[in-house]
């Protein structure tokens, strides 16, 4: 096992991690500010991917496709918030789980109705296709590198938004005491719609970006959604910093586990059994990581509230 | 408005009447649908003990359903291939006997529920929902990557397992088996809710702080409820696998955990026969809407949204005019 392979896999893990962060950041913001568990977040990821694939197919422009993904997911998010989610803020978690589960059914089957069951394809833009050479002579796909950079840029942007802007102050205040900021004259329901649309746009962006390296199909959102839940549980629900740390940890564990665990087991088992045991364990590794974190800290790494 | 006790009786009679009518009218497929509803209801009765009495919103009960299914699948697979299962020093021959399979399914899923409960009951609220979801996924991915028992493709069992004195391949006889199992679980839940344990569990759901103040231990109560709940859902999994003569990782899928909660919500949370009503309506809707449109799940989603937003007590709540317990 060479150093180059290890560095490549670490980069792959990072790339997966920052994309998970885009999903997890929205989920954790929505939970932190509105106290809502949104199972339909994966549907917004799918909406972004489909909007991008459709616009890219019609215009051939990847930039337009990304814009469409952001817009479509944000609009879908704002609509869903105003029509359904708004009524659930005071409801029990069980009702939130069910209503957003119902939204998944509506979104998934609605998309299947419009676009059919066959996957769509979204091509990597020409300027970013092919590999690039990193210092040390490592060949790595340009597009995946771009994903890492975009993810990091979004993370910095989100930090700036929440820590340095007026809207960020309102969001943080909303997490602490929603009655108080409403009393101070902030239109709380507009703020909620805005936060929900922001989270949805991030999910849509992730869907479009990942859609170019995987296929765009109905049901693509749910596996990512569940991993994003694992991320925010590890990081502590409501914490953007926690979501970032959790996302990188989960991305690296998932990618490196899949490659190295079978190799590790080959050291003391016969190859066939080692591959099977290793890959079975690797597919569970993320969840084992989560249980370990929760046993150690029941509210996650950076979580304050239960 | 109708008393809940009478309504429970009517629900069960109605549930029994449909397959009996189908038997006379010679509609074996309707009997199979009723069997499917009875088994799903059994799984949801299991979940209802944790969710309705204990207030534990588990989004991972598919783990126990799947474990029950695979207990059946693995034992019957070794019986049909005549290859004994070697677990280190112990060698187990497969079996095609339902009672033995049920015993194994109940024990395995109770053990899994004990371990999962021990870990996840340390958390509450959203964390509990998500950690149970994650444990369910853990089993799902394990089943997919474990090639010895079919991996992603699942495992087919060619002949339905046997029950002494019955021919389980006759639809109405297998329905009888499932219906009796459902009734036993319902009686268990009814007795449980009125027992000191059930009352203490109910108190721990309503106010953990007060329950603790009078000397109860909410953690142990919840753990016990979770184990009983998982065991019943596991039994339903074994029956479900026998109904289809097939097990696959989809029995572990989180959609199934979601559907089990849906069954309870349609009928009414914490109601004795809520899951039975929910399962019957679910299977009927699936069959009827599924026949009308390929996209029936959209309409299920819409119905579900309307129930959550406007009909909080479910069907039983509507008919009795009483709100259900708060979860």
Q: What is the pLDDT of residues A85-94, one digit of tens each?
A: 988 888 888 8
Show residues of chain A in contact with B129, CB under 8 Å. 37, 93, 97
Cβ contact B126–A31 (<8 Å): yes
Show residues of chain B in contact with A276, CB under 8 Å. 145-148
Cβ atoms of B267 and B314 closer than 8 Å: yes
Cβ contact A284–B131 (<8 Å): no
Residue with tokens 């944000």: A74
Q: Does B130 touch chain A (CB under 8 A)?
A: yes
Predicted TM-score of the model (pTM): 0.88
Show residues of chain B in contact with A237, CB under 8 Å. 126-127
pLDDT in tens, chain B (327 residues): 577 778 888 888 888 888 889 888 888 889 999 999 999 999 999 999 999 888 899 999 999 999 999 999 988 888 887 777 776 667 777 788 888 999 999 999 999 999 999 988 988 888 898 889 889 988 998 888 877 787 788 888 888 888 888 888 888 899 999 999 999 999 999 999 889 999 999 999 988 889 999 989 999 999 999 999 999 999 999 999 999 989 999 999 998 999 999 898 888 887 888 899 999 999 998 888 888 888 888 888 998 888 888 876 677 777 776 665 555
Residue with tokens 């389980």: B168
The minimal CB distance from A110 to the residues B57, B138, B298 is found for B298
Residues 6 or more apart in contact with residue B255 via CB below 8 angstroms: none
Mutation pick from A94, A100, A257 vs chain B, by most beta carbons of B within 10 Å, is A94
Q: Does B168 touch chain A (CB under 8 A)?
A: no
Show residues of chain A in contact with B312, CB under 8 Å. 95
Cβ contact B295–A230 (<8 Å): no
Cβ contact A298–B127 (<8 Å): yes
d(CA B216, CA B221): 8
Burial class (CB in 10 A: 0-12, 13-18, 19+), A115: middle
Q: Does B261 touch chain A (CB under 8 A)?
A: yes
């Amino acid at each position: 096992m060479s150093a180059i392979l290890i560095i490549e896999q670490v980069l792959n893990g990072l790339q997966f991690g920052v994309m998970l962060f885009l999903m997890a950041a929205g989920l954790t913001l929505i939970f932190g500010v509105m106290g809502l568990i949104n199972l339909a977040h994966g549907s917004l990821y799918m909406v972004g991917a489909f909007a991008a694939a459709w616009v890219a197919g019609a215009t051939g422009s990847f930039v337009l496709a990304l814009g469409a993904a952001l817009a479509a997911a944000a609009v879908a998010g704002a609509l869903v918030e105003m029509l359904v989610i708004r009524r659930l803020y005071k409801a029990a978690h069980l009702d939130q789980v069910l209503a957003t589960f119902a939204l998944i059914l509506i979104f998934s089957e609605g998309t299947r109705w419009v676009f059919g069951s066959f996957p769509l394809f979204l091509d990597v833009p020409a300027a970013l296709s092919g590999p690039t050479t990193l210092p040390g002579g490592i060949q790595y796909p340009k597009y995946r590198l771009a994903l890492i950079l975009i993810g990091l840029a979004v993370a910095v942007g989100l930090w700036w938004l929440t820590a340095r802007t007026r809207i960020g102050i309102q969001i943080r205040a909303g997490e602490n005491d929603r009655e108080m900021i409403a009393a101070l004259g902030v239109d709380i329901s507009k703020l909620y719609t805005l936060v929900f649309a922001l989270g949805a746009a991030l999910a849509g962006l992730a869907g479009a970006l990942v859609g170019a390296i995987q296929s765009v199909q109905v049901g693509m959102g749910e596996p990512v959604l569940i991993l994003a839940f694992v991320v925010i549980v590890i990081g502590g629900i409501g914490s953007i910093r926690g979501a970032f740390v959790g996302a990188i940890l989960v991305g690296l564990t998932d990618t490196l586990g899949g490659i190295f665990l079978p190799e590790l087991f080959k050291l003391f088992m016969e190859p066939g059994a080692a591959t099977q045991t290793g890959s079975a364990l690797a597919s569970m590794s993320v969840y084992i990581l989560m249980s370990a974190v929760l046993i150690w800290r029941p509210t996650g790494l950076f979580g304050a509230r239960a | 408005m109708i008393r809940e006790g009478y309504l429970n009786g009517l629900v069960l009679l109605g549930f029994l009447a449909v397959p009996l009518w189908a038997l006379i009218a010679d509609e074996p497929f309707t009997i199979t649908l009723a069997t499917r509803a009875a088994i799903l209801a059994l799984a949801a009765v299991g979940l209802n003990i944790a969710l309705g009495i204990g207030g534990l919103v588990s989004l991972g009960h598919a783990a126990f359903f799947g474990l029950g299914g695979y207990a059946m699948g693995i034992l019957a697979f070794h019986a049909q291939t005549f290859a004994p299962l070697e677990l280190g020093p112990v060698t187990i021959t497969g079996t095609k006997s339902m009672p033995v399979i049920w015993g194994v399914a109940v024990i395995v899923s109770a053990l899994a529920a004990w371990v999962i409960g021990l870990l996840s009951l340390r958390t509450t609220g959203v964390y509990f929902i998500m950690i149970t979801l994650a444990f369910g996924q853990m089993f799902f991915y394990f089943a997919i990557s474990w090639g010895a028992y079919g991996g992603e493709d699942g495992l087919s069992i060619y002949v339905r397992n046997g029950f002494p004195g019955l021919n389980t391949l006759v639809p109405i006889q297998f329905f009888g088996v499932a219906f009796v199992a459902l009734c036993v679980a319902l009686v268990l839940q009814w007795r449980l809710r009125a027992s000191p344990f059930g009352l203490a569990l109910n108190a721990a759901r309503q106010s953990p702080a007060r329950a603790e103040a009078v000397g109860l231990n909410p953690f142990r109560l919840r753990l016990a409820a979770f184990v009983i709940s998982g065991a019943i859902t596991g039994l339903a999994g074994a029956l479900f696998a026998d109904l289809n003569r097939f097990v696959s990782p989809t029995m572990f899928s989180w959609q199934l955990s979601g559907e089990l909660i849906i069954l309870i919500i349609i009928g009414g949370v914490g109601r004795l026969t809520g899951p039975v009503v929910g399962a019957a309506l679910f299977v009927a809707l699936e069959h009827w809407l599924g026949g009308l449109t390929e996209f029936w799940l959209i309409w299920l989603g819409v119905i579900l949204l309307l129930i959550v937003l406007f009909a909080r007590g479910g069907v039983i709540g509507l008919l009795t005019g009483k709100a259900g317990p708060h979860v």
